[in-house]
A = this chain, B = another copy of it.
Amino acid sequence: MRITVLAGGIGGAKFLTGVRAFAEQRGQDGDPSEVTAIVNTGDDVTMHGLRITPDLDSVLYTLAGVIDTERGWGRAGESWRIKQALAEYGAEPSWFGLGDLDIATHLVRTQMLDAGYRLSDVTAALSQRWQPGVRLLPMTDERCETHVVVSGPGPEDPRRAIHFQEWWVRYRAGLAAEAFVQVGLDQAKPAPGVIEAIAGADLVLVAPSNPVVSIGTILAVDGIGEAVRTTSAPVVGLSPIVGGAPVRGMADRCLAVIGVPTTAEGVGLHYGSRRDGGLLDGWLVHSGDSAVVPGVSVRQRPLLMTSAEVTAEMVADAAGLVGIST
């Protein structure tokens, strides 16, 4: 079977290890299966002249087994000499986590982009090295960067739009935010293969990623939301909210900006039923979290991704929820 996953960074990456394990098991059971991940690039940013794609990197490093599992992003055994040396030059920004090993990846990527390759070409090239076992597609090859309309921190600081990374990393999502804006969204087209991967899937999964700045951004790209709504494949989402809080990260701060309650039900209702022009056929929520989403099959089960095997069982349950036997 063909499984297509909409995914953000850390949560999406972990989830994909489970989807890959699920597909491998299915292959061993006589159904050769392939996984395509459509990855958010709204967090992408250029810093110190380097083009940085945090979510694609988290997915790639995680699937390659070289992620720093403690930190959740960047490479294991990372060092920070260049970051320090740049700070000594007074080169801004100094608040972004720019690891030495990571910079090698950024240099390869930046040089390929400068040479005219598309981000999807770069992603394929990096996948050659890391062999993630999942086909990785950026949501778009165009720059489409999430900005946040903020004010503060001081009373004199003007209302302004700052890059999502600045809000997220520098201010730890602590600046009063009123909206997210994707700069470049009007020019962004789905990357090659994205629409086909959704339309031609046997199952579409919405990873337990940030519903606003990961999944929401992917869906905002021209044609992707429509492809999810109209694919013949069933679409199942997994709640990133467990017991009223994000499992990891600060998704609650993003949900607050768009007025969605930080609950499994709140996110499920925000995604909505495909029957009613929404996203979902099925919605997996954590044991103990209740959710009523009209037109959507909801099931409770443990949603903590403690290992690839445990996560693969979540994927099996997601498939079962829409009648795919495993």
A contact set with B: CB distance below 8 Å: 48-50, 79, 81-82, 85-86, 88-91, 100-101, 103-105, 107-108, 110-111, 114, 126, 129
B104 touches A89 (CB 8 A): yes
> A86, A105, A107, A110 — which one has the most chain B CB atoms within 10 A of its CB?
A107
> Bound state CA distance, A89 and B126, in angstroms?
8
A286 to B255, CA, bound (A): 76
Is B49's CB under 8 angstroms from A111's CB?
Answer: yes
- Given A49-B107, A50-B107, A82-B100, 19 extra CB contacts under 8 A: A48-B108, A48-B111, A49-B114, A79-B81, A81-B104, A82-B82, A82-B101, A82-B107, A85-B101, A85-B104, A86-B107, A86-B108, A88-B104, A88-B129, A89-B108, A89-B126, A90-B129, A91-B107, A103-B103
Q: Can you spell out 13 A-B residue pairs with CB atoms less than 8 angstroms apart?
A: A49-B114, A79-B100, A81-B104, A82-B103, A82-B104, A85-B100, A85-B103, A85-B104, A85-B105, A86-B104, A88-B129, A89-B108, A91-B104
**What is the total number of copies of this protein in its complex?**
2
Whole-angstrom distance between the alpha carbons of A86 and B129 in the complex?
11
Given A81-B81, A82-B107, A103-B82, residue A89 in contact with residue B129 (CB < 8 A):
yes
Closest 8 CB pairs of A and B: A85-B104, A49-B111, A81-B100, A48-B107, A82-B104, A86-B104, A85-B101, A89-B108
Tell me, in angstroms, the Cα distance from A127 to B101 when the chains sit together. 28
**In the complex, what's the smallest C-beta–C-beta distance from A68 to chain B, in angstroms?**
15
User: Chain B's nearest CB lies how many Å from the CB of A294?
Assistant: 49
A111 to B90, alpha carbons, bound, how many Å?
Answer: 13
Q: How far is the CA of A108 from the CA of B129 in the complex (A)?
A: 28
Q: How far is the CB of A91 from chain B (nearest CB, A)?
A: 5
Across the interface, which residues of B come within 8 angstroms of A114, CB to CB?
A: 49
State which of B48, B81, B101, B107 has its C-beta within 8 Å of the C-beta of A101.
B81
Shortest Cβ distance from A229 into chain B, in angstroms?
A: 39
Instruction: Please indicate the chain B residues that have their CB under 8 angstroms from the CB of A108 in the complex.
Output: 48, 86, 89, 91
A125, closest chain B residue (CB): B89
Complex-state Cα separation, A48 to B50, whole angstroms: 11
A110 and chain B: residue at smallest CB distance? B49
* Complex Cα gap A110–B114 (Å): 13
When distances are taken between beta carbons in the complex, the residues of chain B under 8 Å from A129 are 88-90
User: Which residue on chain B has the smallest CB distance to residue A75?
Assistant: B85
Chain B neighbourhood of A48, CB < 8 A: 107-108, 111
- On chain B, the residues within 8 Å of A85 by CB distance are 100-101, 103-105
